Structure 1
Amino acid sequence: MKKDLSLRTVTVMRYILPLREGGSLPALAEADDDFKYVLKFRGAGHGTKMLISELLGGQIAVKLGLNVPELVFARLDVDFGRTEGDEEIQDLLKGSEGLNLGLHYLSGAIAYDPSVKIDPLLASKIVWLDAFITNIDRTFNNTNLLLWHRELWIIDNGASFYFHHSWKDFEKHALNPFPHIKNHVLLPQATKLDETDRWAKEHLSDHFFLELTRLIPDEWLQWRDTNETPEEIRHRYYLFLKTRLTHSHHFLNEARHARG
């Protein structure tokens, strides 16, 4: 496992095909390092806030020892996509000039089948993660989990940290018990939540959260709905993470209750 949180930066060279899941129009693309990536675009849906969710959620998952495809900052040049024939995709690419986010493409991976039993501790870690980052999108209808080389991999954390869409009263959101956890695909198998909570608190820390929020690029923090500076926004994310970890019993009790 990598010791630092730094991400590589690649330049997107070739748009291969759209991956039309959901409304964010991710795409398979090739970069200048000759690897293929699933690109998440700043010009889609919830814009850079979705990219921030992917970045923070993915790096926290890695810190918890979970499998996540390598995340990279993916730069789109001004001329990229001008030859694209699909007007919707061309508009998306034009609106995504600059820094985007890519996840290493797991060639040959298959979607996780909820009927497959997995290790209870692994299931508990993923449930704990999603309750912590308030991820509403890992359900039976859309697992956002892949099986690759006989291991379970986490993808798509963009529906997390939904407090940033209103950007008000983050303390209240940080203490949210997260009732959506009742819909989590792995909740029935998550029998070691207390053990996971203790383990997570040994591995996550204020220092980690500080370093993590420093990863968010300034150009992802130029928001129209706030007058706060990029540094002030980073600090708000830091306080959210710090508060949520301190009061993890709120969402832990909710998960226990949902398990019945």
Structure 2
Amino acid sequence: MPKIKLVIGYDGTDFHGFARQPGLRTIQGVLEEHLARIHNHPVEVFGSGRTDAGVHARAQVVHFERDVGPPADKYVYLLRRSLPRDIVPILAEEVPDDFHARFSVRTKTYRYTIQRAAIPDVFSHRYTWHEPLSMNVQRMQEAAYDLLGEHDFTSFCASTTHVEDKVRTLFAVDVAQRGTYLDIICSGNGFLQYMVRIIVGTLVDLGEGRLDRQIRQILAARDRSLAGRTAPARGLCLWQVDYEGNEVHNG
């Protein structure tokens, strides 16, 4: 059956994460509900990954199969007419049978935004972590360098995760100031549950002087208790998903 790739953005504030959960409002559940109306039968959606409750996406990628239906480029128009305002379809196209939104991913990029102003901005509080304390940004940048490459990230994932293989490769971890905001951008071949949020919390704790352990020491220990805080979900956004020969972005 023809396979459709759909790129969407969403405000995750009022969702219980991406993955379908009975009785709860989720990204996958809402998408499948509206696609079922278009096709007059159930449609299963597969995502590039499962964002947690409260996490946003600038360019999440999903795919679904269909036997009949409108031309691929019409899905954006049809879904924009029916989806709630906190999910925005960006692009839709037909893709080869061997494409998979999750298993074909080459690189994922997340951006975490911290607001450092003394007074929180009411218009950005849904998308940032307000942390006005003084931070040693240079120390954070230097610590981020030690996260690069292939490591076992047991110390930087939820202690309850069921994934056995916790080895991942980070291609970039950038700490960049933007006015009163601080962006922490992580790109890698995959991420564990809460991994970016724990990386952010650890870098912030290092920058504020709450933590004095070295990143290499934390990685080697494979012990979640040695890393820093788990940063709040609201500051995290799935920024970009790359596939071989096809960079997916928003705008």
TM-score, normalization: structure 1? 0.27
Greater relative contact order, per chain length (Cα 8 Å cut-off, separation 6+): 2
Higher strand content, 1 or 2: 2
Q: Which has the larger radius of gyration?
A: 2
TM-score, normalization: structure 2? 0.28
